[in-house]
Structure 1
Amino acid sequence: MNNKTLLRLIAVLFWIPAISACGFTPVYGPNSQIEQQFSGITVQEPANRNEYLFVQNLETHIGRASAPDKMLQYTLYVYEQSMLQGYRAHLVGKVDYKVISMSDQTVLYGGSAENFTAYNIPAETLESLKNDAYSRLMQILADLVYRDLIVKNAAYADAS
């Protein structure tokens, strides 16, 4: 190890405690502002497999509220489009959502997210490929809704 590399290593080791002592907290970590802003939101119960996957993926981001005062209600639309003369299928999904106050049922904010995924159509493994495509689509939609919720919930908190 040459002197230049050794000096860099010493500098990094010196600055690590200084950086951690500055009050820095992770944006998405435990007790972060993001976690706290979703602590009062519960998600509408799922009615089918797609909704279950969507809610499960969304709750990995926002958690489960112990004392909810708001509810995220959603409507999920999914449809298939055959592409490339029957060899490939697109699975298109859209979710419309709104966050309502549980005390007076007023809509606080809402939005929508839309995306797609695709799968090949071989006859021998169609069902497992289709299920995997649905799972991927629900993950994508939950991620999009979560990103939208971060922005809209922060704007709502600033306005109130």
Structure 2
Amino acid sequence: MSSFNRRSFLMTATAFGGLAGCGFAPVYGPNGRASVLREAVQLTAPDTREDYTFVRAVEAQLGAARTPRFKLDYKISTDKNSIELTRDQEIYRYHVTGEVDFTLTDQASGAVISSGKVTAFTAYSASESTFAALSATRDAYERLTVQLAEKTVAKILAVVGTSG
């Protein structure tokens, strides 16, 4: 009976150049796609709670700009809809959608490196308690904004990695 051993596979693949030959490289590694953007992306200053969360989440992935080579402009929009009602027609659950329109520009040349739109959604339950309702709402918007930031960075990295 044969069993798969991950360590043996990785050591064999590395020894024969299998992982390097197939183009595998960690995105956040020393020579990965993200190294070009590391601590080099200046984001538009946040105005809202969602903007602040977005900036914080992008900087968690790319680092705060120390030597700003790129400028990331973004616009976040959200929408909230009720999705479940009680028998008495009281709202029980909310569905929150969001999107970010973004443009990453090289500050020296003014060239647009990447632009596009990403979308995400989340949901939360309503509560009779004012504090619980406020907390659930804030948490949902924070989760949504973090998802949007992660998708934005992923989309940018896909372009940066193919353009050199």
The residue aligned with 1:138 is: 145
1:55-94, aligned counterparts within 5 Å?
A: 55-85=55-85, 86-94=91-99
SS in structure 1 opposite 2:78? strand
Partner of 1:123, secondary structure, is: coil
Distance 1:60 1:33, change over 3 A: same
- Please state whether the residue corresponding to 1:87 is helix, strand or coil: strand
Separation (CA, whole Å) in 2 of partners of 1:34 and 1:109: 14
Gaps of 5+ in 2: 86-90
1:30 deviates by 4.5
Distance 2:139 2:51 in 1: 15
Partner of 1:95: 100
TM-score, scaled relative to structure 1 = 0.78
Greater CA drift, 101-110 or 57-66: 101-110
Q: Normalised by the size of structure 2, how large is the TM-score?
A: 0.76
Residue 161 of structure 2 is matched in structure 1 by: 154
The CA RMSD measured in Å over matched residues stands at 2.8
Q: Deviation per CA, 1:31-54: give whole Å up to 9, x if none.
A: 232231213322222111111111
Q: Which consecutive residues of structure 1, in runs of 5 or more, have no partner in the other structure?
A: none
Displacement after TM superposition at 1:108 (Å): 2.7
Amino acid at match of 1:68: P
Distance, in Å, in 1 between the alignment partners of 2:29 and 2:155 is: 20
Give the 3-state SS of the residue equivalent to 1:151 in structure 2.
Answer: helix
Q: Does 1:54 align with 2:54?
A: yes
1:27 CA drift (Å): 0.5
The letter for the 2-side match of 1:36 is S
Whether the aligned pair in 1 keeps the contact of 2:119 and 2:148 (CA below 8 Å) is: yes
Q: What is the alpha-carbon distance in structure 1 between the residues aligned to residue 109 and residue 100 of structure 2?
A: 24
Aligned residues: 150
